[in-house]
Structure 1
Amino acid sequence: MGAVGAAFGRNVTPDYRPDLFDTPNPVTVSRRLLYRESFQPATSLNILAAAWIQFQVHDWVNHRRHRPGGRTVEVPLPPGSGDWHNTPGGPPENVMRFAENEGLELPGDRPPILFGNVASHWWDGSEVYGEDEQTARFLREPDGGARLRLEDGHLPGGTNGIPLTGFSESWWMGLSAMHTLFAREHNAVCDALRAEYPSMSEERIYRTARLVVSALIAKIHTVEWTPAILATEAIDIGLHTNWQGPPRNWLNKLGLWLFEAHSLTGIPGTRPDHHGVPYSLTEDFVTVYRMHPLIPDDYELREHHFGQRLETVGFLDIQGGAAEAKIRKTGLANTLYSFGIAHPGAITLHNFPRSLQQFERDGEIIDLSVVDLVRTRRRGVPRYNDFRAGLHKKRIRSFEELTRNAETLARLKEVYRSVDEVDTMVGLLAENPPAGFGFSDTAFRIFILMATRRLQSDRFLTVDYRPEVYTPLGIDWVEKGGMNSVILRHCPELASLMPRRASAFAPWRTVQPAANGGPPDNGGPGDNG
């Protein structure tokens, strides 16, 4: 259950349509409804929030692709689209071509409909540690040491400039910052365990530290990142209750009899609950986590002492093999500060990163927005209205129910013949989200269900979340830790710049460059201090 290679499950009944491209062509959908004409920021968040969710998704889900030159998907370009180059330096073509996902069955000429997860379905830190024993051992210090290999505090170099880590696809500077932080955090836990328990073997130190770091990551996502992107009091209380139980005054006012066992104490420490079916992540879960609009196209890298701009770069300048050289030159603290004071994109239509709409990956040039649309259709995720119905939400009867934006409304009617044809990804991005929400209410239904299920099914986050498994030091490390403590342990010089009454995913305090040689202005109107 939940092992590497286990199939993705379903939250709603799948819908396989024989015609994937004409209702409507995904290239048309992308260019009319997804293309970023101007950057729309999510002003309650910083870019670390965008890097974090990609860091998490790489732990949770991965569909294997056929190798270059193998089985492909071809999307015909609509009339008037011009030519497309499918490979660097390749000839112009009238189709977009990219690698097909490998299925678990042999479908013949039909698209596969059942897919295995290349990652495990568990919250096990595999993006840092790797999915198999061989990778995990390779990333450790020589001779079976417990610590992860680092070079002057940075990830060790690999081929083509991509560093050695558990999962390094879609690499960019934001991911490098997250991987570097948590590799350092692993080593800090190892050092603390070795000092506290001198007789503990290196193997047990490694495995215990991995448990501690993985649980800390799960906690950060549950009680910090999620309430930051769903900024309402009810969500904040609900997700903190998932981890640590309800506020004390609730017990006094309502009484113990109104709460289930996990609601009294939080899920960690209770018994696993699989709700009658084997646990897995789902194709619908993958769909609602398509959050590429969070990625900006342009970045300012600044130093954190005086706020001086180091350089202005585009996304392609800080991705792939260029990312690691850039973070070493900039420094981890300056990188975190630069991302901490800048906003990600809003998760909405007309805000897909332009950098990702003509993007080289594994020898292919892809439009990732088209890939996202096609993958969702080919995996049998129902169209938006059927997706809503599968979650017991009312079907929409008109485009006017989906958006209040006049330009978007006109384009939806131009692209789709009826509301029942709207792609799920488009509908989720078009919805007007509830107040405080960073994404749609429909996506939230899957999001909150699976957020709880990931914890409840995992024995290391339920019955085995205890000192006998984690050690007393390990439990204490998780319970007292958070994103702020991780950053400050490894970059203490950032203490005065981080939000004082918000998570590390909220906008940080800015250092205004000094004028006329005077001291820098640390913070200012509108900061989180």
Structure 2
Amino acid sequence: MESLETRQLLAADGIACRHNVYDAEDVNDDGRVSALDALLVINALSDERSDDASVFTDVTNDGNRSALDALRVINRIGNDHEVTSIPSIGPGPLIPNAPEVVSSIDGRGNNLTHTNWGATGQMLLRIAPAAYADGVSAPAGANRPSPRVISNLLSTNSSDSPINQHGLSAFVYAWGQFIDHDLGLSETEQQGESFGIVVPTGDPHFDPDQTGTKTIPFHRNEFALGTGTSTDNPAQQINLITAFLDGSMVYGSDETTAASLRTFVGGRMRVTSNDLLPLDEHGMAIAGDSRASENIGLTAMHTLFIREHNRLADEIRIIEPAADDETVYQRARAVVTAIVQSITYNEFLPALLGRGFMTAYAGYNSTANPGIATEFSTAAFRLGHSTLREEIGFLDNDGKALQDEVALKDAYFRASMLEETGIDGLLKFDASAAANEIDLGVVDALRNFLFGPPGAGGMDLVAMNIQRGRDHGLSDYNATREAYGLPPVSTFADITGDVTLQNRLASLYGSVDDIDLWVGLMAEDHLLDASVGELTATIIADQFQRTRDGDRFFYRNVWEGQALQTLEQTRLKDVIERNTSAVGLQDNVFFMRTELRGQVYADTSPSSEPNDRRGIEDCLIELMDQDSKVVATTRTDRFGNYRFRSFSLTGDYQVRFVDSGETLTASITNGDSRIRHLDFMLADIDA
């Protein structure tokens, strides 16, 4: 493993300025672009101490303040216009050639010196020391409360869960789970040592009869052969798939699986007559990863990229009609893998961590071990569990419901459902629905009904995350901070500013030096430009940097010129739109950033132009959904302006001026809809 000496640098949030994602030139976010906005940028340029606590001076969104930011504001003054998205440039006719040597299915030989690095069957890495109770293999946390007790106190989520404050869409968990299944798999169907989760007496879901004898079934992961023999050789777990971001969830991590997914005709992969994944005798999707049927959203992602492979294969055959099946398959596989890598590093990670947190790519590094760290797979990258919604929906291209939503708890292992619904509306929903905030709150479908009702297979994913961390002997939150080069915390207030959460953590753990890692990560206050906290971001950045730098076949190490440009211009939006009937998606489907904005003004205003109106302050405005339910309220500012930005889903909305009862209708069609000039005139007011 590479040295950790510079890892502390990852903890610094290097961006000291903020960007207004809704309207870049509106630096003070007052609804108008004026000379004041330019002045704020200019003042910030001359004041290095400015931390942009209340303004947005990174107008160009490049992570810096510069004269270009001021110039862009100045050019906008007097020429106000609607803000529109810059469309992405989909790939042109060029399909990058496959590299002369393609990566092996099982990951072996990627590193020419350490041929097993990143290959299937390798031990998970440890950044922090193992913390087994006996120093060898006994589960950690023997003196801590039951994970179910912790889950009940910290993770109960109401139906009005807060949506992500940075505007992340449901694709943050759809993509996160998709690539998670490309990187790691330690849990098997084999029954290891029983390590049941103790259920507190009278638990309303798991022990309603107050027997005090209930447990949630749980089994330990198997140890790597030869480990767990002494304190000098503690138990280690195994990654059963490749550690590379190499499309293994699409193609498999062994030759037998890879072959079973192919037609061996024209380089294509097996699909049904409806262009869906084939199903086995149990109705489970046949895919490169055994978990493809865990929920229909995940199955849809697998289907999408099988379609992309076959689309590429068909185009390659047109370009090179003499190419044989193997040549076409490997070229399409290499391009699909590169697209997955590009989307992950250019869209997903910046959306999650903010721009500037990951180090820039400096080329292949043969000394970087791409192996999966147990802190990453067993704790940090399980953050997506808190972002899921209770329902999965299906939307048309106008952002409106095609059919009733499906409860998440009813969407587990139902791959056959896609034969009726298809994947188009489901993927449109993922782009058009807001993710829940990344925190300790987890929806009921995951906390009480995971894979079935209690007593009939139902489990608690929060409790399982905590128990799995203890199974793997993860170090506590504070010890892990130190292992990653971060200073330890001294109080619970150093982890979170939420006083209620501080008190609950204290009641459960007593000390900041004994917090289960997953709990500590989810409790962290978020970094300024990220949707995660300091240690979470550091663990994720460390893993994805090693995954990238230690991969000889990483797309930026393989392609250059126009081929590289084609790959980097391909967004997830493009993959969806060319393989489904979905159109009009926002450029970056990882964000659901919509806005309705207007003004209340007096009818005595000398002009109908917004900048000349006399705005009325402190007017109550309500936002109502299609069922006329009030979902948000606000008051106009001193200029009479109001705005709504927290939209859980696209669709039809009404804005009501409470004083007059007047309403205006607006339709949110995609995750980048910004509708202005929903204005109300207040009559009979004194001049």
Match of 1:9 among 115, 121, 125: 125
Identity %: 25
Aligned equivalents of 1:353, 1:54: Cα separation in 2: 19
Aligned equivalents of 1:413, 1:443: Cα separation in 2: 21
Match of 1:94 among 197, 204, 214: 214
Aligned equivalents of 1:100, 1:207: Cα separation in 2: 37
What SS is found at the alignment partner of 2:127?
coil
Match of 1:499 among 561, 569, 586: 586
The residue correspondences of 1:50-449 to structure 2 (distance < 5 A) are 50-65=173-188, 67-68=190-191, 71-81=193-203, 84=206, 93-105=213-225, 107=228, 113-141=235-263, 143-151=264-272, 152-169=274-291, 171-232=294-355, 234-235=356-357, 241-242=360-361, 262=362, 267=363, 271-275=364-368, 278-286=369-377, 287-291=379-383, 292-305=385-398, 307-320=400-413, 322-325=414-417, 327-360=418-451, 364-449=457-542
Deviates most, 382-391 or 12-21: 12-21
Distance 1:148 1:48, change over 3 A: same
Cα contact 2:399–2:650 (8 A) shared by 1: yes
1:63-84 per-residue CA deviation (whole Å, 9 max, x = no partner) reads: 043524x532123334454784
Counterpart position of 2:571: 482
Aligned equivalents of 1:306, 1:96: Cα separation in 2: 40
C-alpha displacement at 1:433, in angstroms?
0.8
Q: How many residues align?
A: 477
What SS is found at the alignment partner of 1:171?
coil
C-alpha displacement at 1:528, in angstroms?
5.8
Distance 1:65 1:163, change over 3 A: closer
Cα contact 2:489–2:512 (8 A) shared by 1: yes
> Structure 1 regions of 5+ residues with no counterpart?
86-90, 243-261
Cα contact 1:113–1:378 (8 A) shared by 2: no
Cα contact 1:306–1:511 (8 A) shared by 2: yes
Aligned equivalents of 2:557, 2:196: Cα separation in 1: 47
Aligned equivalents of 1:422, 1:306: Cα separation in 2: 42
Aligned equivalents of 1:282, 1:28: Cα separation in 2: 27
Distance 1:350 1:379, change over 3 A: same
Aligned equivalents of 2:538, 2:244: Cα separation in 1: 20
What SS is found at the alignment partner of 2:303?
helix
C-alpha displacement at 1:293, in angstroms?
0.7
The residue correspondences of 1:21-36 to structure 2 (distance < 5 A) are 21-36=142-157
Deviates most, 455-464 or 370-379: 455-464
Which has the larger helix fraction? 1
Aligned equivalents of 1:458, 1:109: Cα separation in 2: 33
1:184-205 per-residue CA deviation (whole Å, 9 max, x = no partner) reads: 1111111222222223221121
TM-score, L = length of structure 1? 0.82
1:46-66 per-residue CA deviation (whole Å, 9 max, x = no partner) reads: 112211000001010000435
> Structure 2 regions of 5+ residues with no counterpart?
1-116, 135-139, 595-648, 655-664, 676-687
Aligned equivalents of 2:267, 2:305: Cα separation in 1: 14
1:281-308 per-residue CA deviation (whole Å, 9 max, x = no partner) reads: 1101212101211211123433334724
C-alpha displacement at 1:332, in angstroms?
2.1
Aligned equivalents of 1:319, 1:417: Cα separation in 2: 37
Aligned equivalents of 2:650, 2:155: Cα separation in 1: 34
Q: In structure 2, what residue type is equivalent to 1:126?
A: S
TM-score, L = length of structure 2? 0.64
Distance 1:109 1:360, change over 3 A: farther
Cα contact 1:455–1:461 (8 A) shared by 2: yes
Aligned equivalents of 2:323, 2:520: Cα separation in 1: 53
Cα contact 1:36–1:354 (8 A) shared by 2: no
Q: In structure 2, what residue type is equivalent to 1:75?
A: I
Structure showing greater radius of gyration is: 2
Deviates most, 21-30 or 352-361: 352-361
Distance 1:191 1:430, change over 3 A: same
Cα contact 2:478–2:513 (8 A) shared by 1: yes
Cα contact 1:10–1:282 (8 A) shared by 2: yes
C-alpha displacement at 1:392, in angstroms?
2.0
Cα contact 1:295–1:353 (8 A) shared by 2: no
Cα contact 1:307–1:520 (8 A) shared by 2: no
Aligned equivalents of 1:59, 1:524: Cα separation in 2: 29
C-alpha displacement at 1:430, in angstroms?
0.9
Asked which structure has the greater RCO (Cα within 8 Å, sep 6+), the reply is: 1
Q: In structure 2, what residue type is equivalent to 1:527?
A: S
Cα contact 1:103–1:113 (8 A) shared by 2: yes
Q: In structure 2, what residue type is equivalent to 1:139?
A: L
Match of 1:37 among 158, 161, 170: 158
Distance 1:95 1:112, change over 3 A: farther
Cα contact 2:168–2:591 (8 A) shared by 1: yes
C-alpha displacement at 1:454, in angstroms?
0.9
Cα contact 1:499–1:508 (8 A) shared by 2: no
